[in-house]
Amino acid sequence: MITGDLKSQIDKIWNDFWTGGISNPLTVIEQFTYLIFLKQLDDKQILIEKRSNMLGVTTDKPIYTPEQKELRWSTFKDKDPEVMFELFTRPQRHLNDVTVFDFMKTLGKDGGAFTEYIKGATFMIPTAKLLDRVVQQIDKLPLDNRDTKGDLYEYMLGKIAEAGTNGQFRTPRHIIRMMVEMTQPKKDDTICDPSCGTAGFLVAASQFIHEKHEDWFIEENFREHYNKNMFNGIEIDPSMMRISAMNLQLHGMENPTLIGNSALSESNGISSQYSLILANPPFKGALDYDEVESSLLNVTKTKKTELLFLALILRMLKLGGRAAVIVPDGVLFGSSGAHKSIRKELIENQQLQAVISMPSGVFKPYAGVSTAILFFTKTNSGGTDKVWFYDMLADGFSLDDKRNALISEDTLEKFMLSDDLTDEQLQKEHDRFNIPQIINHWNYLNSGYWGKIHDKSGELLQVNDIPENLGFDKFLDGTVTHNYADRTSQSFLVSKADIVANDYDLSINRYKEIVYDEVVYEKPKTLIADIKALDQKRLDAMNELEKMLG
């Protein structure tokens, strides 16, 4: 967990960039990333040198040669600002015409995933004063701990959301964590985000594994899988590609597979490769048919990116693979042939399990669109029997442009760390924070306990007392005794037959029943009498006033 002091340090670095002439948030993040990476390179070199001094020999390939000492962080950080700036901006003849910045581009795979995507990187810090100020502050950051440096970078990335520029914004961290908790990454999963942005989904999946399954890392086969095959991303924007690579690297994933390409293009032929896909694809985009890979158009003939990405995700999933995908509400009820065909595909040929409707303020201040999360499994043989709908009304933050926290930082942190919150805490916070209940209901509906005291429609059977030894006590109060057939509640089940009868409409408002309170009004005669009485009082008051005035 990042402390207030560390947040202040990052805020100061951000403000220094801003006042120093760099106002584009993505540019700030990129320049910050490059400097972090240069410090990491020097830290690795120091570690190599320590091993060599202790053992007398080393099998590690050095990052810097002795002649390149001037290019190292530990050397240039102590130099005069103008000298340091010159090392960054002017090729050094005695160092084969290489600058500190250009040196990063010469490392190739030796520098980890980040250096594979750095070809187009540009040094954009305009003055020696700004460079020196930022270098000195980064030098004080605690970058020797995986969790701390990852959290620091995540906090810096949060500034993109605050700025809300260039159409670049991140899925809220707690929404990502909810999706990861619900999909429960497995030991042999191959995880992908086909529109990975800053790699928030991949980072959250990694954190989940470290927190829940640290014992997996004892096995060499799993470590090999984790480091080389488990995490995969596709991103078309080169800047975001570099940022995502650094984010993954700072969180301990040295060699993720990142593909710099449009996921929807003809050149992306990936098929049946991933067992878990987590995504928040672009909304409101449109492509020409000749730009789209042809197999996607066979599923849903459309130019809309939100529909094409669903078709792509189905193609990229292995048989039995799971997906959690954020979509705009239009996908759920759109009346075009393309909208209906993708919904029909999910329901008839795959297994659609859940639709979680989110309030429109979740993506504010940069987007006010209403969204939902679809959870489904690729079967190619159907399997949809019933679909669970949840009407999320509160995500723990205000739903206006300010997005102020409505729950304590302690409660949110416990949720992020998957720590158990007490029933009392959750009941107290539920009106402001629905996510723990969402996860608990989902876990119950997908457990072996489901069906023991509910019928297929979700109706609660007549059970007076639930014996504790059955294991139901692992769920929150109210989860087991909830009536999942009650469509006036936030959480309810809808049969496949009902969805088909409604032309495959998946909008929650189609199925949710609203209970209206009866309002009793007075009879018209009574209302007229009351109005006459008021008029008489007004007239009496006027007469009294006239008498007083003489």
Which residues contact residue 242 at a Cβ distance below 8 angstroms, ignoring those fewer than 6 apart?
Answer: 30, 33, 114, 117, 118, 121
Q: Please list, residue by residue across 481-510, b when 16 or more beta carbons sit within 10 angstroms of its beta carbon and e when fewer do.
A: ebbbbebebbbbbbbbeebeeeebbbbbee
> What does the pLDDT average to over 80-101?
89
> Which H, E and C letters describe 159-226, residue by residue?
HHHHHCCCCCCCCCHHHHHHHHHHHCCCCCCCEEECCCCCCHHHHHHHHHHHHHCHHHHHCHHHHHHH
* Torsion, Cα of 13, 117, 321, 299 (10° steps): 110
Kindly list the distances between the CA atom of residue 75 and the CA atoms of 65, 67, 79, 160, 424, in Å, as whole numbers in the listed order: 13, 12, 7, 32, 55
Per-residue pLDDT tens digits for 113-141: 677 777 778 899 999 999 999 999 999 98
Q: What is the pLDDT of residue 164?
A: 47
Determine the longest span between alpha carbons in the chain, in angstroms.
Answer: 115
How many Cβ atoms are within 10 Å of 453's Cβ, its own excluded?
Answer: 15
- The CA distance from 177 to 201, in Å, is 8
**What does the DSSP 8-state code read for residue 234?**
E
Q: To the nearest whole percent, how much of the chain has pLDDT over 90?
A: 45
Grade residue 81 by pLDDT with cuts at 50, 70 and 90.
Answer: very high
* Torsion, Cα of 150, 153, 159, 165 (10° steps): -110
- The CA distance from 40 to 139, in Å, is 10
Q: Is residue 26 helix, strand or coil? A: helix
Nearest alpha carbon to residue 331 among 380, 369, 363, 292: 369
Nearest alpha carbon to residue 246 among 158, 414, 118, 390: 118
- The CA distance from 227 to 238, in Å, is 23
Nearest alpha carbon to residue 395 among 175, 155, 164, 158: 175
Which residues contact residue 408 at a Cβ distance below 8 angstroms, ignoring those fewer than 6 apart?
Answer: none
Asked whether residue 86 carries a pLDDT value surpassing 80, the answer given is yes
Of residues 217 and 367, more confidence is placed in 217
- The CA distance from 375 to 367, in Å, is 23
Q: What is the pLDDT of residue 292?
A: 59
Q: Residue 33 is encoded by which pair of tokens?
A: 């990333």
- The CA distance from 457 to 463, in Å, is 16
Lowest mean pLDDT among 291-300, 373-382, 438-447, 512-521: 291-300
Per-residue pLDDT tens digits for 134-172: 999 999 988 877 667 788 888 888 776 554 444 445 788
Q: What is the pLDDT of residue 163?
A: 47
Q: What is the pLDDT of residue 283?
A: 76
Per-residue pLDDT tens digits for 361-404: 898 877 778 899 999 999 999 999 999 999 999 999 999 888 89
How many Cβ atoms are within 10 Å of 371's Cβ, its own excluded?
Answer: 23
How does DSSP assign 252-289, residue by residue? T-SS-EEEES-TTSTT----S-EEEEEE-PPSS-B--G
